[in-house]
A and B are shown apart, each in its own frame.
Chain A
Amino acid sequence: MSRGTLRIYLGASPGVGKTYAMLSEGQRRAARGTDVVIGYVETHGRPHTAAQVGGLEVIPRQTVSYRGATLEEMDVEAILARKPAVVLVDEYAHTNAPGARHEKRWEDVEHILDAGIDVISTLNIQHLESLNDVVFRITGVQQRETVPDAIVRRAEQIDLVDMSPEAIRRRMAHGNIYPPEKVDAALANYFRPGNLGALRELALLWLADRVEESLADYLVAHGIDKPWETRERIVVCLSGEDGGEAVIRRAARMAGRSRGELIGVFITEDNGLARVDSKHLDQQRRLVTELGGKCYEAVGHDSAETLVEFARREKATQIVLGAMHQSRFEELMRGSVVGRIARLVDDIDVHVIATSGDTLRARAGRGLPVARRRLVAAWVLLLAGLPLLTVGLVAVRQHTNLSTQLLLELVVVLAIAALGGVWIALLAAVVASLLTNWFLVPPHHTFTIAQPENIVALVIFVAVAAAVGFLVDLTARRATEARRARLEARALARSTASLVADPNPLPDLIDQIRATFGLDAVQLVDRDDGDTLAAAGTAASQPTVLEVTGDHGVSAELRLFGSLSADDTRLLRILADQLGLAIGSQRLANEARTAAELTEIDSVRTGMLRSVSHDLRTPLASIKAMVSGLLDPGVSFSADQVHQALLTVNEETDRLNHLVTNLLDASRLQAGTIAVHLDSVPIADVIDAAVHSSAVASNTVDLSDVGQSLLAWCDPILLERALANVIANAVRHQPDEARVRVEAVPIGEHTVIRVIDRGPGIPLTERRRVIEPFQRRDDSSNASGVGLGLAITEGFVEAMGGTVLLDDTPGGGLTVTITLAAQEPLG
């Protein structure tokens, strides 16, 4: 008997129509004459889904009793006995009640498949083991029922039931997913458009089996970075050559998995031999930036040492570089670069990534640095060249005089000096003079010198060799330094070119300077007020201070912590001038921006004054009309009329008072002078007080879903004010026949208060705006007040560390959700 086939309808979230799709498929097969039965289906009371069950045969569920409760489970035995061709089984990830045959429903399904019956099932992605964690981070809802990915991947067919977040929310609002009003807070949170979009993306990625690769981007893109526990710092070495992208991606993935930081570095050796393919390098820099990393360049004698030094400075925890293709000979001659890097570090993990193709030679590694190669050559000349020359001169010493011989020796010594520097030159001069003395100066084969002029010649020979060696060494060193400076300048130019578009390039610029010159810290300080304009690194030693001057009265100084060569300082002085210009233009831009902001503030203030005066004057108008009417001696009023008049005046003064309170609150919020006294507070009391102080009729508010013993970590006075505004708003917009519902429920570590009205709601695009102070929902209406209410609510709740969320009420209306900590947060 062959095993049955498994088909799974995969959904990104509840309500996308998996069960419906499963039932449709069942109906389709049944219509074709296949024997289809329903093993287990959960319609969640959704009418469209229930209708889809139609005439399909349903295997009765078995009942399992557990601790006095009766639970219904799929009856596997009954299905096996019935032996249909296809069985429909909803909720693949379901955990069976204790006492059932298997612990998990997917095990039941395995059993059924083994019996040769085809199974069609449904699954939400949050139940996939590999995604469980990510989904939790997106939605904040922990799923305990999971299915191993491998089991799901074994299915013959996986269909994604896809639906746009907007469509799901529409279905939700129409009550197609849950009955209106039954949507609990967790679900409302779950069904936020952002969440739905993220889940959908995740589902598609999982299906394409590309989750791992995209996870890093994904987490960054969705700002899922809160539990940033251990911050790995991963330095990836950019090759600047074809094929280096794979290494970067791999490093980014490592950074993504450990939620670490990605740092790209391009190493230039200062021997001037390295040729950079700027196209590839640019591509790689861009890739690092796109993957959320930062890019630097470093210049040094030896790429392995420079890389390790850079990694140390950046406090890297891991180094990633591409595998190098060195021949066995190169490895023998120059040593393995990777090996050298590994030897140089013991506290940083080094990862060598295999790359395809043979084009990638990591920059970190062309074997020995030039300086050392030249030194070897100098030694070879010294140990082999000088003796060979001497042997040659011995053969012809009858035909040459001593000065010719000394000059020939001098040529070799100078060559050694040029190659190896002053010390080996000195040694070579001494060796050459000894060799000459022994073999060439009569009497031969003794160090005794017969003629005094030969002594003079030898001494001069050593002196000239030493002097020339010193000069050659000095020149070579200067040349190297100049080349290095040039390379550093070029590296900086490359780095800063990418910063041009940045409105505030100073911090990045300063950081680049720090990284390029290998300094501990760099600070840019304004001389006028001592403000630090930008800083990078941790300052430790005494700084070198460079003056920075520029247009527009810029006077600042660049403080450089760490060791600097003379050339570095020269280069940095030029850079300081550039910085001065940058600060100047930035200052201008800032001034322009401030002016624009002031204009903006001005127009906001005018608008605010207008609406405030309007709102203050409206109740004043009623009061004035009433009182001035009463004062008119020519008119007589009945007692009832006077009572009516006073009632109106009383109401309007309350309204004025409320408005003034709100104005005060708003200005305190804007000035940031809110005093918050947090405490563990019974939420039901605060809600009662808020209903009372919002001055709405008590029969307009339904408080039946307020948890009576629920606590929240909040300031009761601020919360009351916040809630009173929301409740007053809701009641004002509520149609007459319905009541505003206020509920308070515990969700995880939070206490969530929801104020639900069935009024006109607020369009998505308007929501940000209504929370801004002095923006009323409808500018011409004078019914809704200055529009301070929601701004104050948000300000107060955020001051208490909570959040305010505006959402559609399923079926129409506005739901304001206030989330507070349930108890004092630890730490």
Chain B
Amino acid sequence: MSKILIVDDEAQLRRALTLNLAARGFATVEATSGEAAITAVAAERPDLVLLDLGLPGADGVVVLESMRGWTDVPVIVLTARDEERSKVRAFEAGADDYVTKPFGMAELVARIGAVLRRRHQGTADDVAVVETTDFTLDLAGHRALRGGDDARLTPTEFAIAAFLARNADRLITHRQLVTAVWGPAADPDTNLLRVHIRHIRRKLEPEPTRPRYFITETGIGYRFQPNA
């Protein structure tokens, strides 16, 4: 049974989450502040943390940063803010996913499931081939095949697609993607990224204008969904 730490200062939301997660077979622990959250992570060793970004006193991002120094427990950020900036900061601080308030329980549980699954599989470095119903990414052979033919991705396009595929279901920020493809010194140019992604979609997606695999997270980054 997975144990989930709920960090939120709203008693009602904690109650709603505890009740629902318990009914779905999760164990839950609650914390109402950033400090309490850090103590609880150390003492309770949860499998996953649901962290509210708008905590009184300390910013959720700060709490996340101070946790990342010593634990890699998966963190899903809950936020009522639409500001992309704080989301980007949360991802750069090491968040695994985010859910915007108000959210449906089904969506949250799906995200929790995906994050936990990913955690169990470990990183996808050893995966050689990513297969979808529409195309195949041969990570070892540096080829993308569509209907048996080479989709002719450029090396950069392939590097982007491969990095996203290795982190399937995870939201990858612009910066993370740029760092992975061009190295840490590169400047994250979102326009350039957008052009590459458009090319990748045209070559791989069945309907490039309505992507099913390479999903845009507006203002933050991209996410690869293998089995859409």
Q: Residues 609-628 of chain A: 1 if any B CB is under 8 Å from the residue's CB, otherwise 0?
A: 01001100111111111101
Contact, CB under 8 Å: A620 / B102: yes
Known: A621-B102, A625-B102, A644-B15. A782 touches B9 (CB 8 A): yes
The 9 closest A-B pairs by CB, nearest first: A629-B20, A621-B101, A624-B102, A629-B105, A781-B56, A628-B104, A622-B12, A625-B16, A621-B102
Closest chain B residue, CB of each to CB of A620: B102
One of A105-113, A189-197, A507-515, A645-653 contacting the partner: A645-653
A651 to B16, CA, bound (A): 12
Known: A780-B56, A783-B9. A626 touches B104 (CB 8 A): no
| Residue A641 interfacial (CB < 8 Å) | yes
Q: Residues 1-36 of chain B: 1 if any A CB is under 8 Å from the residue's CB, otherwise 0?
A: 000000001101101110110111000000000000
Contact, CB under 8 Å: B16 / A629: yes
A to B CB contacts below 8 Å, 18 in the list: A613-B82, A614-B54, A614-B80, A617-B102, A622-B10, A622-B12, A622-B15, A624-B102, A625-B16, A625-B102, A625-B104, A626-B19, A635-B20, A635-B24, A637-B23, A644-B19, A648-B15, A778-B56
Give the Cβ gap from A509 to chain B, nearest Cβ, in Å.
50
Contact, CB under 8 Å: A648 / B16: yes
Known: A635-B24, A645-B16. A621 touches B80 (CB 8 A): yes
Of residues 571 to 616 in A, which have CB atoms within 8 Å of B's CB atoms?
610, 613-614
| Residue B59 interfacial (CB < 8 Å) | yes
Binding site for B on A (CB under 8 A): 610, 613-614, 617-626, 628-629, 632, 635-637, 641, 644-645, 648, 651-652, 778, 780-783
| Residue B182 interfacial (CB < 8 Å) | no
A629 to B103, CA, bound (A): 10
A622 to B18, CA, bound (A): 11
Contact, CB under 8 Å: B23 / A622: no
List chain A residues, Cβ under 8 A from B82: 613
Contact, CB under 8 Å: B13 / A618: yes
| Residue B122 interfacial (CB < 8 Å) | no
A625 to B80, CA, bound (A): 13
Of residues 50 to 76 in B, which have CB atoms within 8 Å of A's CB atoms?
54-57, 59
A624 to B99, CA, bound (A): 13
Identify which of A625, A652, A781 gathers the most chain B CB atoms within 10 Å of its CB.
A625
| Residue B142 interfacial (CB < 8 Å) | no
| Residue B152 interfacial (CB < 8 Å) | no
The secondary-structure label for the interface of chain A is helix
| Residue B45 interfacial (CB < 8 Å) | no
Give the Cβ gap from A732 to chain B, nearest Cβ, in Å.
12
Q: Residues 162-197 of chain B: 1 if any A CB is under 8 Å from the residue's CB, otherwise 0?
A: 000000000000000000000000000000000000
Contact, CB under 8 Å: B81 / A614: yes
Contact, CB under 8 Å: B19 / A781: no
Kindly identify which residue among B12, B19, B54 contacts A619, using a CB–CB cutoff of 8 Å: B12
Contact, CB under 8 Å: A635 / B101: no
Binding site for A on B (CB under 8 A): 9-10, 12-13, 15-17, 19-20, 22-24, 54-57, 59, 78, 80-82, 101-106, 108
A621 to B104, CA, bound (A): 9
Give the Cβ gap from B11 to chain A, nearest Cβ, in Å.
9
Closest chain B residue, CB of each to CB of A624: B102
Contact, CB under 8 Å: B19 / A641: yes
List chain B residues, Cβ under 8 A from A644: 15, 19
A651 to B15, CA, bound (A): 12
Closest chain A residue, CB of each to CB of B15: A648
A645 to B13, CA, bound (A): 10
A626 to B108, CA, bound (A): 12
Contact, CB under 8 Å: B102 / A645: no
List chain A residues, Cβ under 8 A from B54: 614, 780-782
List chain B residues, Cβ under 8 A from A782: 9-10, 54, 56, 80
Closest chain A residue, CB of each to CB of B78: A621
Give the Cβ gap from A656 to chain B, nearest Cβ, in Å.
11
Closest chain A residue, CB of each to CB of B9: A783
A688 to B67, CA, bound (A): 47
Closest chain B residue, CB of each to CB of A784: B56
Contact, CB under 8 Å: B19 / A629: yes
Identify which of A614, A617, A621, A629 gathers the most chain B CB atoms within 10 Å of its CB.
A621
List chain B residues, Cβ under 8 A from A651: 12
A614 to B101, CA, bound (A): 9
Closest chain B residue, CB of each to CB of A644: B19
A780 to B83, CA, bound (A): 13
A636 to B106, CA, bound (A): 14
A782 to B106, CA, bound (A): 25
List chain B residues, Cβ under 8 A from A617: 80, 101-102
Give the Cβ gap from B103 to chain A, nearest Cβ, in Å.
7
A644 to B82, CA, bound (A): 29
A628 to B15, CA, bound (A): 14
Closest chain A residue, CB of each to CB of B23: A635
A267 to B63, CA, bound (A): 75
Closest chain B residue, CB of each to CB of A637: B23
List chain B residues, Cβ under 8 A from A637: 19, 23
A782 to B108, CA, bound (A): 22
Give the Cβ gap from A169 to chain B, nearest Cβ, in Å.
28
Identify which of A622, A635, A780, A781 gathers the most chain B CB atoms within 10 Å of its CB.
A622
Give the Cβ gap from A454 to chain B, nearest Cβ, in Å.
113
Give the Cβ gap from A85 to chain B, nearest Cβ, in Å.
63
A622 to B56, CA, bound (A): 18
List chain A residues, Cβ under 8 A from B13: 618, 621-622, 625
Contact, CB under 8 Å: B23 / A628: no
Known: A621-B80, A782-B54, A783-B56. A632 touches B16 (CB 8 A): no
A645 to B105, CA, bound (A): 13
Closest chain A residue, CB of each to CB of B21: A629
